[in-house]
Structure 1
Amino acid sequence: MNRTDPWSPHPAGDRPARRLGDRGPLVLAVHGIEDGWRGWTPLARLLADRFRVVAVDPPWRSGNDYTWREDGSPGQWLAETAAALGEPVDVLLAHSFGANAALEALADGLRPGRAVLIAPSYRPSEHADDDTLRAESVAALDVTVRDGLRVRLGGRGERVGPDLLRVMADGLSAHLVPRAFPVFYRTFAASGRLDLAGVEVPTLVLGGPADPALAGYRAQGLARDFPAATVVLRAHYGHFCHIDQAAEVAAEIAPFLGVPIPDTQPCPHPVGGPTR
């Protein structure tokens, strides 16, 4: 790591992990598919004065070969990692595919103090697992991969011409989507079969109405099936709102966690309010 990197190594058994912050409740942060732990940096910086954020690097990290899925499910990996930390998890913070892993782990008995899930992909059980849904899911994953490239490039993206950026996005999508889709879809399709009704962990779910991961009937279905969760959609939140709107997300979760977060602003009113 370079000298300006705020993260330090964290012992988590044999799980790769990094820590930001050295006091306060423990936050276990889990990133999405084909992503990396550094993506938590903008939000973790805002939390570090009040929390110890431990960002793990799951087997679905960028560049993986997906053979890990033969050894266990995402939820199992997450539960084992939480146990390997050697102390109770006060807040489970998860994004995208990591949030789906969190849903599975919660349904199977993982009990952090609270959970914050950002942009999980949810399939209510009454919506058929069919060719139409698969086609929609391929398209949604393609959009997410392309948007992820924008996020990773950051300010460098402004220096890349639109034609070159399109070529980069096309190449990345052509490489990643076929590899990631089978594992992603398996987890997404199973989400509506999880027994979330008995989960009592207070949970805040954040998303945006334009993000297909949690738009429309998906958000409504998750709110119905997961009574302990409050599902909130905000008009300007995209799939990577924890990066693009890190200060707003920090302000959003601060009252839920019951700990003031410095240098944050109140969030605008949610679209239609929370689903419950």
Structure 2
Amino acid sequence: MTWYPVVEAERDGERLAVHRGPGDGPALVLAHGLEDSWHTWRPFVDELGTDLPFTPYALDLPWRAGARYGWVYRTHPATLLRHALALLPEPPALLVGHSFGANAVLELLAAADRPAPTTPARRVCHRAATWSRRLDGVVLLAPHFRPPDDPVDWRLHDRELARFRAVIGEGLRLRLGERRHTLDPDLVDTMVAKALDRVSPLAFVALLRQFLTTAELGLDAVTVPTLVVTGTLDPALAGARTEALRRAMPVASVHTRPDGGHFCHLEQAAAVTAEIRRFLAALPTPTLA
């Protein structure tokens, strides 16, 4: 199915873009993960089905593959996401994020649902609240979350660095498709190592900073219906992290896919999109039924 560019702009010194897919109806907006691409959503939207009454918009964000991450010094993922949402020709009805993009959505939701701002620094939250009130639902795919009692120490740093490297490798292997089964395993490992060498260290800085602050988001104030989908094989939200997110965000329905990894929305696309369709059918807004 054909996708085409809608708009491209620069905000906070970073390039942002919006691409539209086939469909008609309220805006379904998709935010990709770290070192990924807006293209990753095309097979996902195909699997979700064209019979749903949505117009899909995929955001091209400054944590795309090959990014330099200079924005880490001057802004935050939620701010960049808010700028991208402002480029849309219509307000989002459903917001879907994967991995780093899912957590950017989570940060923006938390900011939007805080009490009214009283200082200039928090006026960003007030503007975020404008579109937040229009949202009918949110889907978070493979977000990460730090339980408040998880100590910030060097063991956590090393654990998250290993997770970061594993996800980059998993993403590359997934992009290879069926070729990864025919290529020599040593060659695939070499390709993964070279891919990791090309990733800016600031990408991990951005990920670690985002992960560390999840415990402080104040998600109990979020009122937008939210579906969280994760996999049992993905340490980003496994075990104690899953339960901690459930406690922190009562509005969220957290579903864990058996044998699912960090990219379960692509590897188990039929099952994950079926969950999303059930979530949409249960929303109170008739246009999403």
Aligned-residue offset at 1:209: 1.6
Superposition deviation, residue 17 in structure 1: 1.6
Between the aligned partners of 1:119 and 1:140, the Cα distance in structure 2 is 13
CA contact (8 A) 2:18 2:84 kept: no
Instruction: Tell me the residue number matched to 1:75.
Output: 78
Aligned pair count?
255
The answer for unaligned runs of 5 or more in structure 2 is 11-15, 113-127, 283-289
Alignment of 1:225-244 (within 5 A): 225-244=248-267
The 2-side partners of 1:67 and 1:257 are apart by 37
1:76, 1:16 → 2: CA distance? 15
Q: 1:142–1:177: 8 Å Cα contact kept in structure 2?
A: no
In structure 1, stretches of 5+ residues that fail to align are: 260-276
**Structure 2 letter corresponding to 1:57:** D
1:8 shift after superposition: 1.4
For residues 111-126 of structure 1, the aligned pairs below 5 Å read 111=132, 112-126=135-149
Partner of 2:44: 43
Is the Cα contact below 8 Å between 1:137 and 1:185 reproduced in 2?
yes
37-46 vs 82-91, which deviates more?
Answer: 82-91
Could you report, residue by residue, the CA deviation over 1:29-55 in whole angstroms, capped at 9, with x for unpaired residues?
000000001111111113333221100
Q: Structure 2: how far apart are the matches of 1:133 and 1:177?
A: 20
Q: Is the 8 A contact 1:35 1:62 kept in 2?
A: yes
Q: 2:201 aligns with which of 171, 178, 200?
A: 178
Write out per-residue CA displacement over residues 47-84 of structure 1, whole angstroms, 9 at most, x where no aligned residue.
33322110011100000101022332101111222222
Q: 1:163 aligns with which of 176, 186, 189?
A: 186
In the TM superposition, residue 86 of structure 1 has moved relative to its aligned partner by 3.9
Q: Does structure 1 residue 30 correspond to structure 2 residue 26?
A: no
Match of 1:196 in 2: 219
CA deviation after TM superposition for structure 1 residue 9, in Å: 1.4
Q: Distance in 1 between matches of 2:43 and 2:24?
A: 18
Letter in 1 for 2:18: A
C-alpha displacement of 1:12: 6.3
Aligned to 1:137: 160
The one-letter amino acid of 2:44's match is: L
Aligned to 1:127: 150
Equivalent of residue 7 in structure 1, options 3, 6, 9: 3
TM-score normalised by L of structure 2: 0.84
- Shift of the 66–12 alpha-carbon distance from structure 1 to 2, 3 Å rule, reads closer
Amino acid in the other structure paired with 2:51:
D
Q: Structure 1 residue 257: deviation in Å?
A: 0.9
Check whether the contact 1:141–1:177 (CA below 8 A) recurs between aligned residues.
no
Q: CA–CA distance in 2 between the matches of 1:82 and 1:177?
A: 26
Q: How much has 1:180 moved relative to structure 2? A: 1.7
CA distance in 2, matches of 1:140, 1:148: 12
> Higher mean Cα deviation, 17-26 or 182-191?
17-26
Q: Is residue 74–residue 101 contact of structure 1 (8 Å, CA) maintained in 2? A: yes
Task: For 1:219 and 1:16, locate their aligned partners in 2 and report how far apart those are by CA, in whole Å.
Answer: 32
The Cα of 1:13 is off from its aligned counterpart by 5.4
Call closer, same or farther: CA 1:258–1:12 in 2, change over 3 Å: farther
* Contact kept in structure 1, 2:17 and 2:84, CA below 8 Å: no
Report % sequence identity: 40
Classify 1:11/1:171 alpha carbon distance in 2 versus 1 (closer, same or farther; 3 Å): closer
Greater helix proportion: 2
Following TM superposition, by how much is the alpha carbon of 1:149 offset from its aligned partner in structure 2, in angstroms? Answer: 0.6
Aligned to 1:45, the other structure's residue is in SS state: helix
Partner of 1:266: none
| Shift, 1:183, TM fit | 1.0
